[in-house]
Structure 1
């Protein structure tokens, strides 16, 4: 499919969502050796293959290529919570909210706690201007956002950050990581009264948990939307050389693949880099992309109830590295894989078939062989080459992981210790 420059459309397999029954497709071409481990590289919605599934969703980066001049105002209405929520103060980060009824959160309390920690980001380059969102990461003025929001400003652009109280500051790029679509910028002469966001635990999330997205959709700063966690460990790919909000190709050969949190909270262009929080007001993910059933050339998709966020565990790890050294390391497995369908007992299942193993890599050292089909990582199902990449991508070098493979018709578990991805 040919995309208009501003489409930012990618193909995403949805593991059952909007899927149609179809005979198994022929094996896809092998993915290149996983520089991040045994999986292809991560995010900006690129093509994500899934075996035996032919109907795919298109994912669209949730960044603002156009800026709406309208600003949200107080409409004078508010919902009445079913139970009282209390807010616990925290001197080092945003307050946390104790809900009186966790199944019916008081979102007004959550919005009040979180909003001071979410910022609007405007980027101006020779190619145009765009808008996105970010979260206050620490009191030193570091802001965590998406690479596709600020990456084009490197070297020849200007970044402006607006706090929730309306104060505006310039910012510079501290570091970017195209393969995870994450970036850290820092306020120039930032104030001393910043409120870093409280970090939650993305590993503790359950499908059905309530969630709120906070950001700058379509230039409407301070917007909050609510929903639930719709799915976890959703492999989302936005392809290589991620596109910017201006339709430009950024300089990265990595594919952006995320083991994403899927949410029904409305996410639209401009929400990129903003916060996805739980009912306590804790950051659980960085909003990054939205799904689309398709769009005509020259148009831009909006929310259809399927949005994706980078889990906070991965986002914090990358942010810490970028602040420390300006770059990030990634886990490495050392195999190339392709989508396949394999016999598993009396049934068949999708998996990632190994087509090559690089010598001296973690995979080779663990005894992984050509022809092995990887169907799970640490018990999490793997049903495509992209899903394998997403699982490895969120790990760190030195992690020990268990691969479940099918070899010669029989299941077995293989222990692997991941290494650092070699420089390309």
Structure 2
């Protein structure tokens, strides 16, 4: 499915029309790391998806700056699912590294990698630790990747990877050691482009991924993407977090360019942008930090121009759904097969407004839903939203992405410009009404 940066769309969270525009690793937590990379098993999680271990201190996440909309408009994000199969199965060649990690599976989850040199991560150690937690997913009409969440066999992936699955045996999951199992869909969330499937008759030696904290990420930190690009399972690529809070819209077409059926509802993600190579088939795979912790689910790529051009693939700009959002949605899908989303209750459009002696891009409120959180909080037509909880909002797409990242019942502070003056408005988000 192609994603045009200039389509006009209407999204249910805000009811707005919008011009569509169109990631990071905590530094090593080891205070006295050994000279070679080693691994240590994480503490038992409180739940199957509870992040393991305290994340190291990080600078706060930053919002996007003014002027990004024009730059991103040159790109079209496309779903990184895969319908292309290779005749051979290949892994990345072994990289020179101080030492490989020694894995420990006493507690059943992927070990945490302690890097000997944070400035030069041992990616061989990370790949060895994390690869058992990443699977290849194949359907009759496409392929993708997935990440093992728990010992019961729940696997999180993108909705567009498994959307076309019908009937028993329609989905096959291949583990990193080559064993293949049938799987079935547990629940899907098209608006977040996430799904949970379950391995049938799951073996008892599955290795769930260790979860990180996407709120602790910083631009410039190194990351690794692991998945099944072009049918080449177990492929790893490295790069950095290129940007955070990047609003990316994918999916209004009814058919994916890579063979899978696309969602009829636009997907807006407050995404992690990464330079790690992501290609068709990487969808649903893991984006991990240098400690081997999951920080995002790879979901889409950017490409130049409006045409598919033969599925041009990676150009150095890929996007991942932040792990904190993934955890929230996956918990709900495992529990009852559906997911609840936050709702503000406004219709918004892109604008530029005066901010003191300067000008600033933002999301202008065009309409308010009667009785919705925005109206109850005192927001007005004509207010221009420029930030949420201090994170910049410079378009209607950014506003939708920020709301979708949050949960129903969460309290947020919207910074708006009204009559040329800034003011903060506290809002308690509600659950999005059923459409």
From 31, 41, 56, the counterpart of 2:74 = 56
Pairing 1:355–2:366 present: yes
Paired position in structure 1 for 2:123:
107
Deviations 1:257-313 (A, max 9, x none): 000000111111100000000000000000001111126555102111110000000
1:334-373 → structure 2 map (5 Å cutoff) = 334-373=345-384
Tell me how far 1:103 sits from its aligned partner.
Answer: 1.6
Tell me how far 1:61 sits from its aligned partner.
Answer: 1.0
Pairing 1:9–2:2 present: yes
State the alpha-carbon separation in 2 of the partners of residues 213 and 175 from structure 1. Answer: 24
Unaligned runs of 5+ in 2: 23-66
Pairing 1:79–2:52 present: no
Distance 1:421 1:299, change over 3 A: same
Tell me how far 1:47 sits from its aligned partner.
Answer: 3.6
State the alpha-carbon separation in 2 of the partners of residues 258 and 399 from structure 1. Answer: 18
State TM-score, norm by structure 1.
0.86
Q: Is the CA contact (8 Å cut-off) linking 1:51 and 1:350 kept in structure 2?
A: no
Q: Is the CA contact (8 Å cut-off) linking 2:91 and 2:234 kept in structure 1?
A: no
State the alpha-carbon separation in 2 of the partners of residues 51 and 234 from structure 1. Answer: 9
1:146-295 → structure 2 map (5 Å cutoff) = 146-155=158-167, 158-240=170-252, 243-244=255-256, 246-247=258-259, 249-250=261-262, 252-294=263-305
State the alpha-carbon separation in 2 of the partners of residues 93 and 375 from structure 1. Answer: 41
1:302-341 → structure 2 map (5 Å cutoff) = 302-341=313-352
State the alpha-carbon separation in 1 of the partners of residues 202 and 210 from structure 2. Answer: 19
Pairing 1:421–2:421 present: no
State the alpha-carbon separation in 2 of the partners of residues 51 and 206 from structure 1. Answer: 18
Distance 1:135 1:175, change over 3 A: same
Pairing 1:403–2:419 present: no
Paired position in structure 1 for 2:63:
none
Q: Is the CA contact (8 Å cut-off) linking 1:11 and 1:56 kept in structure 2?
A: no
State the alpha-carbon separation in 2 of the partners of residues 343 and 333 from structure 1. Answer: 24
Q: Is the CA contact (8 Å cut-off) linking 2:163 and 2:260 kept in structure 1?
A: no
The alignment's C-alpha RMSD in Å is: 2.4
Q: Is the CA contact (8 Å cut-off) linking 1:405 and 1:414 kept in structure 2?
A: yes
Paired position in structure 2 for 1:4:
none
Q: Is the CA contact (8 Å cut-off) linking 2:74 and 2:305 kept in structure 1?
A: no
State the alpha-carbon separation in 2 of the partners of residues 168 and 52 from structure 1. Answer: 43
From 377, 387, 391, the counterpart of 1:380 = 391
Distance 1:381 1:403, change over 3 A: same
Q: Is the CA contact (8 Å cut-off) linking 1:39 and 1:387 kept in structure 2?
A: no
Distance 1:420 1:296, change over 3 A: closer
Q: Is the CA contact (8 Å cut-off) linking 1:147 and 1:178 kept in structure 2?
A: yes
- Count of residues paired in the alignment: 390
Paired position in structure 1 for 2:36:
none
Distance 1:254 1:365, change over 3 A: same
Q: Is the CA contact (8 Å cut-off) linking 1:235 and 1:386 kept in structure 2?
A: yes
Deviations 1:298-341 (A, max 9, x none): 51021111100000000011011001000000000000000011
State the alpha-carbon separation in 1 of the partners of residues 16 and 404 from structure 2. Answer: 7
State the alpha-carbon separation in 2 of the partners of residues 297 and 312 from structure 1. Answer: 29
SS of the residue corresponding to residue 251 of structure 2 reads strand
Unaligned runs of 5+ in 1: 1-7, 14-27
